């Protein structure tokens, strides 16, 4: 029997709150700052996973405002090949780290921490360009 090694579906959520963007400091490797997100559970829609992950990691109830883009470069996650559907969301309140987030903090768009894990610097760069120009990344991203 053939063993398949298919990419794993994930979600990332760019949460806009209090004039900034919520990022989490990861409790598990790879360590560092990241966009809120995680794996989609079996039987779960990506938008449901996005809302769940945001609540689990930041204690915020988010409203998804749009589906931003899909990132699928085979090397985007050092653990395995993942495909991430990225959403933009809004929330009110102060994030409180929970689940696998060691910290949760709101960063002004011009003061994002560096380095960011995974391909999140690219995602946030694309997001900031989108907010500034209205242009999304090319489909080959």
Which CATH number is 93's domain given?
3.90.79.10
Q: What whole-number distance in Å separates Cα of residue 65 and Cα of residue 81?
A: 27
Q: What whole-number distance in Å separates Cα of residue 15 and Cα of residue 113?
A: 15
Is residue 100 within 8 A of residue 27, CB to CB? The reply is yes
The pLDDT of residue 31 = 96
Q: Is residue 138 in a domain? A: no
Residue with tokens 């009110």: 92
Q: What whole-number distance in Å separates Cα of residue 37 and Cα of residue 35?
A: 6
Tell me 116's DSSP state.
Answer: B
User: How far is residue 3 CA from its own chain's centroid?
Assistant: 29
Q: Is residue 33 in a domain? A: yes
Structural domain count, the chain: 1
Q: Is residue 50 in a domain? A: yes
Q: What whole-number distance in Å separates Cα of residue 98 and Cα of residue 2?
A: 39
Q: Is residue 51 in a domain? A: yes
Q: Is residue 67 in a domain? A: yes
How distant, in Å, are the alpha carbons of 40, 46, 62, 82, 95 from that of 43? 8, 10, 21, 17, 28
What's the average model confidence in pLDDT over 118-137? Answer: 97
pTM for the structure as a whole: 0.95
- Domain holding 129, by residue range, is 13-133
Predicted confidence band of residue 3 (pLDDT cuts 50, 70, 90): confident
Q: Is residue 140 in a domain? A: no
What's the average model confidence in pLDDT over 115-140? Answer: 96
What's the average model confidence in pLDDT over 47-76? Answer: 98
């Amino acid at each position: 029997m053939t063993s398949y090694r298919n990419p794993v579906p994930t979600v990332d959520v760019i949460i806009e709150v209090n004039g900034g963007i919520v990022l989490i400091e990861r409790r598990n490797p790879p360590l560092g700052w990241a966009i809120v997100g995680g794996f989609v559970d079996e039987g779960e829609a990506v938008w449901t996973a996005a809302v769940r992950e945001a609540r689990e990691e930041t204690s915020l109830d988010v409203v998804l405002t749009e589906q931003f883009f899909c990132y699928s470069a085979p090397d985007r996650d050092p653990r395995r090949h993942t495909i991430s559907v990225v959403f933009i969301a809004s929330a009110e309140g102060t994030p409180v780290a929970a689940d696998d987030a060691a910290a949760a903090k709101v960063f002004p768009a011009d003061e994002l921490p560096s380095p960011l894990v995974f391909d999140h610097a690219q995602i946030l760069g694309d997001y900031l360009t989108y907010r500034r120009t209205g242009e999304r990344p090319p489909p080959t991203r």
